Amino acid sequence: MGLYLASLLVSQGLAVRVFEQRPSRSPFSRAIGIHPPALEALDRIGVASRLVASGVQIRHGVAIGNGKPLAGMSFDGLSGRFPFVLSLPQEQTEEILERRLRELDPDALQRGSTVTGMHDDGRTVTLDVASASASSAQTSVLAVAADGVRSSMRDFLGVPSRLKTYPDTYLMGDFKDSTEFGSDAVLFLAPKGIVESFPLPGSLRRWVARMPGLPPQAGALMLADLVCERTGIRIDPETNSMLSTFGVRSRRAVRLIHGRTALIGDAAHEVSPIGGQGMNLGWLDAAALAPIIVAAIRGQPVATELRAYESSRLRASAKAMRQAEINMALGRPVPPLLLAARNRMLSSLAGIPTVNAWVARRFTMH
Ligand SMILES: Cc1cc2nc3c(=O)[nH]c(=O)nc-3n(C[C@H](O)[C@H](O)[C@H](O)COP(=O)(O)OP(=O)(O)OC[C@H]3O[C@@H](n4cnc5c(N)ncnc54)[C@H](O)[C@@H]3O)c2cc1C
């Protein structure tokens, strides 16, 4: 989120520094889905076409129950320019964003620099920044905390957050794509728990299976067996290129503006990956905050705009959390007696065009 916000601000002529503790990018793919409103926001720094050229365009999704299609969803018509959800591993997305920021200002991103403390005197914010070679105090008119779920800046500021945990756990992995699904996303609503399947660039596919708990020793074979048991599809464990297990929680800071510091991204709100919206939400925070920062730096009054930013972004994150909760509930195991009724209900709801269009809009953050 920091890379995107910094690019927006630098392109408006502001001097920005991004302090990033990692000396190099995280190799973990994590998020893959970029929704149309986020692509429109990312285009403001001129990277949408690079992202689209690197990713897979998901234009259609299907839910399968008991071996039969229960519901289909089309993303056509949702957005004039980007009528799809773009699938691209987060590591590649971050590489494109980092390259763009370096083009705009080669010195903006300071890698290997950890923020270890901060002080707001009412007129400026000073960050204590430690790197391998030195420690320094960096003073600025404003600061933005974009330091992720374990945000130290949120802790330095003493901003409380509301944490919620869920019983859901998942096993996720990327494999060579041997299916016939092409660029479609597929949800298998199996009685023992959902299996999700998404296309990735490079003829790969991501598989995510709900698990009864976090297995102590998860492996590619375990995921391949689960997928086969619940969907009948055989994936080759030998082609596995990424494997991860994760539990789910959500967390929302009670305030996003604290003195001269604003919170964005996961520092402001952590959303279950099963909603597929966390990363997108953060970019939309940055897009909403950037013009307010520019106006503030130019000496314009922004108190009303900051209040509006806080309430609208808190509402947006609450909505994303509800969407993730619906997705997780849909993927939980279903007792055999209820299975047929659940599938019938989904099938009839999906048959109502207005309901189908509404779900597609919500899913893609419109
Ligand atoms: C398994 C998984 C799958 C996901 N799938 C999706 C998806 O499909 N779609 C979606 O929209 N979202 C998804 N998400 C969520 C998405 O990954 C996050 O919402 C997104 O990475 C948040 O970005 P961020 O910049 O706020 O935080 P981060 O990506 O965590 O970045 C924060 C950065 O701050 C740095 N940092 C932290 N502390 C300091 C410090 N003190 N000093 C200096 N630097 C510091 C960190 O090194 C890090 O680089 C998924 C998440 C997971 C875990």
Q: b or e along 14-46 (b: 16 or more beta carbons within 10 Å of the residue's beta carbon)?
A: bebbbbbeeeeeeeebbbbbbbbbbbbbbeebe
pLDDT digits (tens, 9 = 90+) for 331-349: 999 887 788 888 888 877 7
Nearest atom of ligand 1 to the alpha carbon of 35:
11
Contact 59, 83 (CB under 8 A): yes
Name the pLDDT band for 135 (thresholds 50, 70, 90): very high
| Residue whose C-alpha is closest to residue 296's, from 119, 38, 123 | 123
* Most ligand 1 atoms within 8 A of CB, residue of 7, 19, 21 to mutate: 21
The pair of three-digit structure tokens given for residue 15, joined into one six-digit string: 């001097």
Name the residue type at position 30.
R
Residue 76 has pLDDT above 90, yes or no: no
280's CB contacts (< 8 A; 6+ apart) are 33, 34, 35, 37, 38, 365
pLDDT at 217: 87
How many Å lie between the centroid of ligand 1 and the Cα of residue 147? 8
Best CA proximity match to 283, nearest among 86, 68, 119, 65: 86
Res 68: pLDDT? 87
Distance separating alpha carbons of residues 248 and 246, to the nearest angstrom = 7
Ligand 1 atom nearest residue 152's Cα: 41
Q: Which residues of 166-180 are buried (b: 16+ CB within 10 A; e: fewer)?
A: eebbbbbbbbebebe
Cα 232 to middle of ligand 1, angstroms: 34
Would you call 341 helix, strand, or coil by DSSP?
Answer: helix
Residue list, ligand 1 pocket, CB within 6 Å:
1, 19-22, 30-33, 90, 114-115, 146-148, 152, 244, 246, 265-267, 273, 276-280, 282
* pLDDT band, residue 86 (cuts 50/70/90): very high
Determine the average pLDDT of the residues in 133-154.
Answer: 96
Express each pLDDT in 48-68 by its tens digit.
Answer: 999 999 999 999 999 998 888
Q: Which atom of ligand 1 is nearest to the CA of 19?
A: 43
Angle at 324 between CA 237 and CA 153, to 5 degrees: 95
Cα–Cα dist 277/98, whole Å: 21
Is pLDDT of 117 > 90?
yes
Helices 353-363 and 336-350, packing angle to 10 deg: 100
Task: Output the six-digit token pair for 203.
Answer: 């003829």
Question: 202: pLDDT confidence band, cut at 50, 70 and 90?
Answer: very high
Ligand 1 center–CA 148 separation, angstroms: 5
Distance separating the N- and C-terminal Cα atoms of the chain: 20
Among protein residues, the one with the nearest Cα to ligand 1's atom 25 is: 1
What's residue 225's pLDDT?
96
Of 163, 196, 124, 152, nearest to 269 (Cα)?
163
State the DSSP string of 208-237: EEEESS--SS--HHHHHHHHHHHHS----G
Domain ranges of the chain: 2-32+89-160+254-329
How confident is the prediction for the chain on average, in pLDDT?
A: 93
Question: By the 8 A CB rule, do 239 and 176 touch?
Answer: yes
pLDDT band at 174 (very low <50, low <70, confident <90, very high): very high
Does residue 360 surpass a pLDDT of 80?
no
- Mean pLDDT computed over 192-215: 95
Of the candidates 99, 130, 89, 135, which has an alpha carbon nearest to the alpha carbon of residue 113? 130
User: In the prediction, which pLDDT does 115 show?
Assistant: 98
Flag whether pLDDT at 207 surpasses 80.
yes
Domain 2-32+89-160+254-329 has CATH 3.30.300.30: no
Q: Whose CA is nearest to atom 17 of ligand 1?
A: 31
Ligand 1: atom nearest CA of 172 is 1
- Per-residue pLDDT band for 234 (boundaries 50, 70, 90) equals very high
Q: Are strands 109-111 and 18-20 parallel, antiparallel or unpaired?
A: parallel
Gyration radius from the chain CA atoms: 21
Which residue puts its alpha carbon closest to atom 30 of ligand 1?
148
- Is the confidence at residue 121, as pLDDT, over 90? yes
Which atom of ligand 1 approaches the CA of 32 most closely?
8
Measured by CA distance, the residue closest to atom 27 of ligand 1 is: 148
Per-residue confidence (pLDDT) for residue 55, from 0 to 100: 98
Q: How far is the CA of 32 from the centre of ligand 1 (A)?
A: 12
pLDDT reported for residue 26 = 84
| Distance from residue 106's CA to the centre of ligand 1 (Å) | 23
Q: Say how many Å lie between the CA of residue 1 and the centre of ligand 1.
A: 8
Q: Is the pLDDT reported for residue 230 higher than 90?
A: yes
60 alpha carbon to ligand 1 midpoint, in Å? 27
Ligand 1 center to residue 64 CA distance, Å? 31
Ligand 1 centre to CA of 279 (Å) is: 7
Q: Is the pLDDT of residue 78 over 80?
A: no
CB 50 within 8 A of CB 59: no
Share of the chain above pLDDT 90, in %: 81
Residue 336 parent element (H or E): helix 336-350
SS3 179: coil
Q: Is the pLDDT of residue 177 over 90?
A: yes
The whole-number pLDDT of residue 123 equals 93
Atom of ligand 1 nearest to the CA of 113: 43
Residue 97 token pair:
């964003």
Largest pairwise CA distance in the chain: 65
Whether the model pTM is above 0.85 = yes
Distance CA(92)–CA(54), nearest Å, equals 8
Shortest-distance atom of ligand 1 to CA 268? 26
Question: What's the gap in Å between 151 CA and the centre of ligand 1?
Answer: 10
Distance 139 CA to ligand 1 centre (A): 25
Q: What are 145's two structure tokens?
A: 């905390």
